[in-house]
Structure 1
Amino acid sequence: MTLVDLAARMKANSNEKIRWKLVWEFLEEYRWETSDAQPALLRSEPESVGDERWDALLAALAEHLAAKHDLAPPLWTALRVLRHPWFPAELASQRVDALVWAPAAFRKHGVYLSSKDLEAA
C-alpha cells in the first residue's frame, strides 16, 4: 500500500477508529516491503482526506519513514503543517507521553503521537 492508497482509503472512511486501523495496516505492510521498495511508497503526494489533521499525519509519516532511510522528505510534505497541535490520544497521560516522545517529523507537522504508538502498530 502506498500513501496515496492510504489517503484514498481514509477519505472513503471518515470514522477515526477505521482511519487509525488503516494507518496501522499501512505501517505493517510497509515493514514487510524490502528497504529498496519502501521509499517509493512515500514519494507521490496523496490527495487530501478532507481533514487537515489527517493530511498532516500523512506528511509526518512520510517524513518520518524517509528519514529512516536517510532521505529528504518528499517535497509535498512541506505544506502540510498544522497551525494548532493535534494530540490524537484521549487520556492526559498519553498526551504527556506524546509530548515527550513524538518523533521530530510528527512534532514538525503538529501531530503529537508517541513513537511508542508507531512501534506498537
Structure 2
Amino acid sequence: MGYAPLTLQEVARRIREALTDPEGGEADAWRPIREFLDDFRAAAPEVRQAMIEARPEPTGDPRFEAYLAALAEHLAVHHGLRVPRWVEEPGRFLDRWWFPTRFRSLHAMALVESPAAFRRRGIFVDHTELERC
C-alpha cells in the first residue's frame, strides 16, 4: 500500500490525541497541521479535494475546530476547489478572537495579514502561517 496524504479528518484525530496526552499539549497539536500543509502542497490537484472534504470530528478545543474550517475554506478558495459544507457549521466560529502565537508583538500584523477565511472566524495569523502551502 502506498503513501496516503493526511486528510483534515486525520489531522483532527491527531490534534485530539495531542491535546489529551498529558505529555503532549497544544504545542504538539500543531504538528499534524504542518504535516497536512506539506502533504497538500505535494498532492496532485485531483487529490486535494478529498483531503479537505470529509468533516473532521471534534478535537476537544473550539479554537482548533474553527482553525480547521478556516484552513479548509482558505485552501479551497485559493486552489479552485469546492468549499466543504462543514466549514459553515456554527461550532466552526469563535466567540472570542484568537491569536495562535505567544508573541503579542505579532498581533497587530496578524490583524492586517490574516486571510479572510480565518478573520471571519475570529482567528488572526500572520502571513507566514500558511507559507508551507
**Alignment map for 1:1-121 (pairs within 5 Å):** 1-14=6-19, 15-79=25-89, 80-120=92-132
Cα distance in 2 between the residues matched to 1:75 and 1:115: 26
| 1:87 alignment partner, SS class | coil
CA distance in 2, matches of 1:16, 1:58: 14
State the alpha-carbon separation in 2 of the partners of residues 22 and 45 from structure 1: 16
TM-score (ref. length: structure 2): 0.85
Moved over 3 A (4+): none
Query: CA-to-partner distance for each residue in 1:83-120, whole Å, 9 max, x for gaps?
Result: 11111111122111111100010111111112322105
Rounded to whole Å, the distance in 2 between the matches of 1:71 and 1:34 is 12
- Alpha-carbon contact 1:11-1:50 (below 8 Å) kept: yes
Segments of 5+ residues of structure 2 without an aligned counterpart are 1-5, 20-24
Task: Please tell me the root mean square deviation across aligned C-alpha atoms, in Å.
Answer: 1.4
Rg larger for: 2
